[in-house]
Structure 1
Amino acid sequence: MHGFANPARFLRIARWLMPLCLGLGLVVAALALAWGVFFAPAERLQGETVRILYLHVPSAWLGMAGWMGIAGASFTELVWRHPLAAIAARACAVPGAVFTAVCLLTGSLWGRPAWGTWWVWDGRLTSMLVLLFLYFGWMALSQASESSDGSENHAPAIFGLVGAVNVPIIHYSVIWWNSQHQAPSITMGKSAMSGDFLWPLLTATLGFTLIFAGVVLARMRAILANQQAEARLRRKAFSEVEF
């Protein structure tokens, strides 16, 4: 892991990996959505509304995965002082929040015909909404930490680790509590879904995961470039003051 701690080495890898992930992800996601929307069958009970599945489920997965990325980067920052860990956490925050918002929006659109209401305050929906607020709070805290006196501030990393408690709550909420949301159809090593729905769903999840990875790499490159530019400006200002 420390082999990638050098920003220059990371940038060399990200330079080709980022467009590869984005390009491949866009193609795979587009094909999967076309497969699910135009070629997969309608569901016996839910009819055509089941097609929201191919966007809703990958968004839910990536909303939770984004926070786990923040938590993993926060742990790495606190334990090993990895120089890219805080940057990786910042890069995960915005796409993670976007996918969480898409999950909530598509879930609401799906819930209206399926449940007869746009929203219910059950465990799964409420904990997912809490996750969106956690993203907002983390980004605000991270921004405030950057605006401080420049001393080392681990508050965002601690918040990232504490907030990770919500992820297993989201996952197990439909098991722990009486939930209007359906129980998991895919578990470790098995699936209750027909292959007609499962394969386009897995393909869509792969495509959106690649897009997420590409966006995170792009944001890390942008954050590093901004930090390097600021460092050059500070060195130039310091040399001019000395002169």
Structure 2
Amino acid sequence: MHRFANPARFLGIAKPLTPFLLWSGAILVVFSCWWGLTQVPAERLQGDTVKIMFVHVPAAWLGMAGWTGIAVASIVQLVWRHPLAGVSARAVAAPGAVFAALCLVTGSIWGKPTWGAWWVWDGRLTSMLILFFLYLGFIALANASSEKGSLSRTAAVFGIIGAVNIPIINRSVVWWESQHQKASITLGGSSIDDSYLWPLFGSAIGFSLLFGAIVLMRMRAALAEIRIEARMRRLAED
């Protein structure tokens, strides 16, 4: 792990990997959404409305995965002081917040014709809204730090504690009476018809690749900014 924490070695890997993730993700998202929207038949009860899942479900997964990444990076920052831990946590926060917001917006659009309301204080929806606010809080704490390349102890602890909300989101439809449907994909299998399942998987993989590309781009930009600031300080001291 320490070998890959070296910024120069990381940049050598990230530079060629970023365009690969970006373009392969974009192509897969476009193809999967086209497939799901135009080639998959309308669902028996919800009609074409259900096809919003090709954006909504990946957005929900990535919103939760993003915070999981923040929690892991925060632990690494506190325990091992890896030079890239704080940079990666900061880089994940903004796209994670965007996907959490996208999940909430698409869920509301899906909920209106299904439940007859844009919003209900359902366990799943409420815990996802809390996740979005956690992202905003983490971004504020991270930006309050004077050091660009690391997290303050407060931000790192916040990132770890906030991870408690991830299993709550995941299990909310099981623990509480919920208008939100139960999990359709579990380790035991899937209840989704194959005609929907394959484009959904394609969309989820595509959005994940885009997420990875965005995080790498943000990390590279942050490291470049740190390098420029260090150079300017050296020049000022000379």
- TM-score, with normalisation over the residues of structure 1? 0.95
Post-superposition offset of 1:119: 0.2
What CA distance in whole angstroms lies between the structure 1 residues aligned with 2:17 and 2:2? 19
Residues 1:211 and 2:233 aligned together? no
**Which residue is 2:62 aligned to?**
62
**Which residue is 2:166 aligned to?**
167
Q: Is the 8 A contact 2:91 2:215 kept in 1?
A: yes
Residues 1:26 and 2:26 aligned together? yes
What CA distance in whole angstroms lies between the structure 2 residues aligned with 1:48 and 1:98? 25
- Equivalent residue runs for 1:109-120 within 5 Å: 109-120=109-120
**Which residue is 1:106 aligned to?**
106
Structure 1's 172 and 151: CA in aligned 2 closer, same or farther, altered over 3 A?
Answer: closer
Post-superposition offset of 1:153: 2.7
- Equivalent residue runs for 1:124-203 within 5 Å: 124-146=124-146, 153-203=152-202
**Which residue is 2:223 aligned to?**
224
Structure 1's 113 and 87: CA in aligned 2 closer, same or farther, altered over 3 A?
Answer: same
What CA distance in whole angstroms lies between the structure 2 residues aligned with 1:153 and 1:115? 43
Structure 1's 16 and 189: CA in aligned 2 closer, same or farther, altered over 3 A?
Answer: farther
Post-superposition offset of 1:155: 1.2
What CA distance in whole angstroms lies between the structure 2 residues aligned with 1:165 and 1:72? 13
SS in 1 for 2:52: helix
- TM-score, with normalisation over the residues of structure 2? 0.97
Post-superposition offset of 1:238: 1.1
Q: Is the 8 A contact 2:83 2:150 kept in 1?
A: no
Residue by residue over 1:160-213, the C-alpha shift from the partner in whole angstroms, topping out at 9 and shown as x without a partner, is: 000000000000000000010000000014001110111110110000000000
Q: How many residues align?
A: 238
1:58 maps to a residue whose letter is P
Post-superposition offset of 1:146: 2.5
Moved over 2 A (4+): 150-153
The CA RMSD over aligned residues, in Å, is 1.4
What CA distance in whole angstroms lies between the structure 2 residues aligned with 1:118 and 1:89? 32
Structure 2 gaps, min length 5: none
Structure 1 gaps, min length 5: none
